[in-house]
Amino acid sequence: MSSLKKAKIAAIARAVPEKILTNFDLEKMVDTTDEWIRTRTGIEERHIADEKTTSSVLGIEATKKALKKAGISAEELDFIIVATITPDMVFPATACIIQNAIGATKAATMDIEAACSGFIYGLSIARQYIATGEAKNVLVIASEVLSKITDWDDRSTCILFGDGAGAAIITESDSDSEIMSTVLGGDGKYGDILYLPAGGSKKPASHETVDNKEHTIKMNGQDVFKAAVTKMRSSLKKALEKAGIKSSQLKLVIPHQANLRIIESLRKFLDLPKEKVYVNLQKYGNTSAASIAIAMSEAEENGIIKRGDYIALCAFGGGLTWAATVIKY
C-alpha cells in the first residue's frame, strides 16, 4: 500500500448557460408561486441551456478553464471521465466528443451514469488511476442539461432542475493535498422513485413514448427525500472515519444541491454551523452531477476554501446512488 500515489484536485472550474429562469417566470408557466418553491426547496432561479447548448458544450467550457488553472495542456490528459445523465447522444460517449473538441489525443474516454452522485464517482475512479500510476492527469467532468429532459407542465419537477457543468483536473500530489477517502454506494430497489422511463432498450423512442412524456424525469419526492437524508448521512460518516477526520475539523461541507431541507438535515446531523455547509441551490437549482462541482468551484473562487483546508463532498442520486469524499484541499 505504501507504493500507492496520492491524488489531488489540481484545479476546478465551472460553466453555466447565460439564460436564467426565475420562480416568477415559472409562475407564468405552471400553477405554482415563488413563495411555495422557496419555502419547500430553497430554489429561487436556475440556468437554462438554449437549443444548441449540450452537455458537451458546457463541459468543454468548464474544461478549458480548469486546464488553464492547472497549467496543463489537453495533450497531457491521460483519461477523460464525464459524469452525466444527459449525454449528447447514447453513443459515442460525451467524453469522446469533448476529447475531440479539446484535442486530448492521448486520453482514454468514458461516460459514467450515477446521476447526482456522478462527480464523486468520477473523483473516486480518477483517484484509483492516479494511485496506481496508470494515469498522471485525469479530467473529471460533470455536465448536465436537465432542462431538456424536464416536463415543463409538471409543477412538481420542473421547479427543481437547472443546467450547468463543472470540471476538475486530478493529478498526483506533490504536497499534503489529497483526496483522502471515498465512499460509494447504490441500491437498485429504489430505482422507481427517480427515473426516466423511455429512450433506452426497454422503451425505445416511439410516438407513444413521446406522447406520454416518458422521455422526461419522473420522481416520487417524499421517497427521494427520505432516502437522501439517510444515505448522505451514513456515507459521509463513513468517509470521515476512513479519512480519520472529525466533522469539527472540516472547513466546509459541500452537499449535493437538491433541496435546502435535505441540506439542513445533514448540517444538523453533523452539528455544524451554517457557514460550514455550502449552499448555492438558490441560484442554480438541482444540476444533478454538476451541482457539487459547480459549488466547489464557486467556493474556491470566493475564497471560502483554500489549499490545506479539509472539505467533504456528499451526494445522492437516482439509481439510487450515493457517494461521499473527504479531501485535504
127 and 257: one domain? no
Cβ-based burial of 47 (10 A; exposed 0-12, middle 13-18, buried ≥19): buried
The answer to whether residue 215 is domain-embedded is: yes
d(CA 89, CA 135): 27
- Can you tell me the mean pLDDT for 187-203? 94
pLDDT at 279: 97
Q: 298: Cβ–Cβ under 8 A, 6 or more apart, which residues?
A: 14, 278, 280
Query: Where residue 146 falls among pLDDT bands split at 50, 70, 90?
Result: very high
Question: Which of 123, 146, 175 is at the close of a domain?
Answer: 175
CA dihedral (103, 106, 108, 114) positive or negative: negative
17 and 71: one domain? yes
The answer to whether residue 1 is domain-embedded is: no
Q: How many domains does the chain have?
A: 2
Catalytic residue among 23, 256, 259, 314: 256
Contact 89, 128 (CB under 8 A): no
The answer to whether residue 50 is domain-embedded is: yes
Q: Which residue has the cell 500510476?
A: 133
Cβ-based burial of 297 (10 A; exposed 0-12, middle 13-18, buried ≥19): buried
pLDDT at 307: 95
Alpha helices in the chain, H assignment, sequence order:
23-27, 34-41, 55-70, 94-102, 118-131, 207-211, 221-243, 260-270, 281-284, 290-301
169 and 251: one domain? no
220 and 155: one domain? no
DSSP for 110-147 reads EEE--GGGHHHHHHHHHHHHHHTTS-SEEEEEEEEEGG
The answer to whether residue 324 is domain-embedded is: yes
Cell digits for 133? 500510476
Q: Give the number of C-alpha atoms closer than 13 A to the C-alpha of residue 132, restricted to the C-beta side.
A: 6
Quick one: DSSP state of residue 269? H
Question: Which of 152, 175, 198 is at the close of a domain?
Answer: 175
Question: Which of 122, 141, 175 is at the close of a domain?
Answer: 175
113 and 160: one domain? yes
Contact 294, 287 (CB under 8 A): yes
pLDDT at 227: 85
- Which of 4, 142, 141 lies closest to 79, judged by CA? 141
At 58-88, the pLDDT tens digits run 999 999 999 999 999 999 999 999 999 999 9
pLDDT at 3: 84
- Using left for φ > 0, alpha for ψ between -120 and 50, and beta otherwise, residue 308 falls in left
Report the CATH number that the domain containing residue 66 is assigned in CATH.
3.40.47.10
The answer to whether residue 99 is domain-embedded is: yes
Cell digits for 28? 407564468
208 and 106: one domain? no
The answer to whether residue 2 is domain-embedded is: no
In whole angstroms, how large is the CA radius of gyration of the chain?
19
d(CA 129, CA 135): 5
Task: Give the chain's mean pLDDT.
Answer: 96
At 158-174, the pLDDT tens digits run 999 999 999 999 999 98
- Which of 305, 183, 176 lies closest to 252, judged by CA? 305
- Can you tell me the mean pLDDT for 17-24? 98
- pLDDT of 2 strictly over 80: no
At 214-261, the pLDDT tens digits run 999 999 978 888 888 899 999 999 999 999 999 999 999 999 999 999
At 264-300, the pLDDT tens digits run 999 999 999 999 999 999 999 999 999 999 999 999 9
CB burial string 73-89: b at 16+ within 10 A, e below? ebebbbbbbbbbbbbbe
The answer to whether residue 122 is domain-embedded is: yes
The answer to whether residue 260 is domain-embedded is: yes
135 and 258: one domain? no
- Can you tell me the mean pLDDT for 148-155? 96
148 and 215: one domain? no
d(CA 186, CA 323): 9
Catalytic residue among 137, 259, 286, 314: 286
Catalytic residue among 116, 137, 158, 259: 116
CB burial string 219-250: b at 16+ within 10 A, e below? beeeebbebbbebbbbbbbbbbeebebebeeb
- pLDDT of 105 strictly over 50: yes
pLDDT at 1: 44
238 and 128: one domain? no
127 and 167: one domain? yes
pLDDT at 221: 79
161 and 287: one domain? no
171 and 184: one domain? no
Domain containing residue 131: 7-175
137 as an active site residue: the answer is no
